[in-house]
Amino acid sequence: MFTLTQIQSAATRTLILSLALFFAACSAQNEAASTAPVTLSGSAEYIIGPNDELDVFVWQNPDLSVTVPVRPDGRISTPLVNDMVAASKTSAQLSKDLEKELSQYVKDPLVTVSVLTFNGPFSQQIRIVGQASQPMAIPFRNRMTVLDAMIAVGGMTEFAAGNRTVIVREEGGEKKSYGVRLDDLLLNGDVSANVPLMPGDILIIPESWF
């Protein structure tokens, strides 16, 4: 049998532990107190990955302008360029490399590369974890928003604390966290809570405390 003192001691420890967990959760939430920016002053440059689809436009050379897939090995083939690495480059970098290669056949070629279909390397994908209906990593798309990501994963579970959602984003080599109001967006239709995403963002949807 437990003595009254032992029972009181156990109850005290339980209370202390509960308070510690509560304040730890509050602290984690405060770390992401700033809300995610509604507009982005600068976007991280998208890194081309296998299975992306590219539009290669060569000015004044329609016969050299094509739409091509990035093969699983990360390479592409275009007219006059049989085999070039595209993966792990930005569109601007690939454009310059194609210009250099085409300069053997065309005088002062001007090449523009646009990504039509995004898959990208895993580090560039959007990862949605926690209380999403279907947590997963999804390809980044141009002008992608939080709402787009939530549609892709089927929304939140009934246990989600949507307004405590956090975006973890790398900026200038540092990890930063931003708060997102998913309840306001998905349940109340507040479009001001919809914010743009960047390649590599991690969307963390916590479970409700109650």
> Over the stretch 73-110, which tens digit does the pLDDT of each residue have?
999 999 999 999 999 999 999 999 999 999 999 999 99
What integer pLDDT is reported at residue 40 of this predicted model? Answer: 62
Report the predicted TM-score, pTM, of the whole model to 2 decimal places.
0.64
What integer pLDDT is reported at residue 44 of this predicted model? Answer: 64
Under CATH, what is the fold of the domain 31-44+122-205? Outer membrane lipoprotein wza fold like (3.10.560)
What integer pLDDT is reported at residue 63 of this predicted model? Answer: 96
- Is the predicted pLDDT of residue 13 greater than 80, yes or no? no
Taking residues 157-173, report their average pLDDT: 92
What integer pLDDT is reported at residue 14 of this predicted model? Answer: 45
pLDDT tier for residue 143 given thresholds of 50, 70 and 90: confident
What integer pLDDT is reported at residue 22 of this predicted model? Answer: 41
Taking residues 194-200, report their average pLDDT: 92
> Over the stretch 22-33, which tens digit does the pLDDT of each residue have?
444 444 444 555
Contact 133, 174 (CB under 8 A): no
Under CATH, what is the fold of the domain 53-117? wza like fold (3.30.1950)
Question: What integer best gives the mean pLDDT of the chain?
Answer: 84
The domain spans of the chain are 31-44+122-205, 53-117
What integer pLDDT is reported at residue 69 of this predicted model? Answer: 96
Question: Counting beta carbons within 10 angstroms of the beta carbon of residue 131, is it exposed (0 to 12), middle (13 to 18) or buried (19 or more)?
Answer: buried
pLDDT tier for residue 149 given thresholds of 50, 70 and 90: very high
